[in-house]
Structure 1
Amino acid sequence: MKSVCVYCGARNGSNPLHHKQAQVLAAAMVNRNTSLVYGGGNVGLMGVIADEMMRLGGTVTGVIPASLVAREVGHQGLSQLHVVSTMHERKALMADLSDGFIAMPGGFGTLDELFEILTWAQLGFHNKPVGLLNTAGYFDHLLQFIDHAATEGFIGDEHRRMFCVADDPALLLQQMLAMQSASQLTHFSDTPDAGDLR
């Protein structure tokens, strides 16, 4: 994976470990010569991982809508910053520029990006690996809900296996590489049944 898109919060969160793990993930990515693609902000965990990547000599590409440049404080110290018109353009360009995706702790925006990229994988629009960095058990309740949805018949077992989970950044990257190299992602028809969208 030459580049990984990281979805994360525009806030730091209440647990200092989130800040630390963002730095650890940055170091693990630089170690693997993997560049960062992210939302282009200079605040919260977005700013932490971008700053650490740049400090360590990594390559960072930000993508941010013009309307959010002030609110998320568009990062001016990146290798490259794309300013786009809409959130849809932002997410599409981030996906195009990336070979894999990691969701770190975050709020509604992070969850939106995570579930959209998983839905795209489910529908066969990409077969890139997806990982959750489960710092301090942040995603435990979400994973329980996903298991519940699978038990209730709304998520197939094969879809439940479309992403990997780890609390260690280096291990998560290793799992994603294994998923990529072994082609373990399930491929789906380009014309899915309407039921696949629900």
Structure 2
Amino acid sequence: SEAVVIERLTADKGYVRMFKGAFPKDAQPVNYDNYAKAVGAFERTLITRDRFDDFLKGGDKALSSGELAGLKTFLETGCTTCHNGTVIGGNSFMKLGLVNPYPSEDKGRQEVTKDADDHHKFKVPMLRNIAITGPYFHDGSIKTLNEAVEKMAWHQLGQKLEKEKVDSIVTFLGSLTDKKRKGPKSTGAE
């Protein structure tokens, strides 16, 4: 609710200071309209310009042969069941442990909605910049992207991927890193 958002923002002195700096003419800078403006400004910074986008726009040299092979593996494995859309994920909540149970005490979205159908559902992360945004999973328990791919394939798709397929997918995921960010051009075997 609006009231809860404002309550949480005003409880944090850092946010209050930033809102005063961003909206100096407002007597009460921490308000819901300014919150919406701040979120909008932040979201506009999330636009990535990566080599995968160049590829989608017809740049036939934008991706390496290893990244193209990784894209094929990503698609054939079924990763797009959850990771789809413009930001390749980030637009849905899915049960973690869909095929093989994921060991976690965390109830996921059920904690918020109180709906038993939301047990172990978590927001599917977007994959843009994923190669440089570890650790992974909702609890930060997975340290490497390779391990995250392995576990997702097992828990979500019921597949035990060979190391070569994991490396291939991770190589493709490296192409989703914004060209202006520091990070690997590729994060797996070429």
TM interval, shorter chain, is under 0.3
Larger Rg: 2
TM-score by length of 2: 0.26
Q: TM-score, normalised by structure 1?
A: 0.26
Greater strand proportion: 1
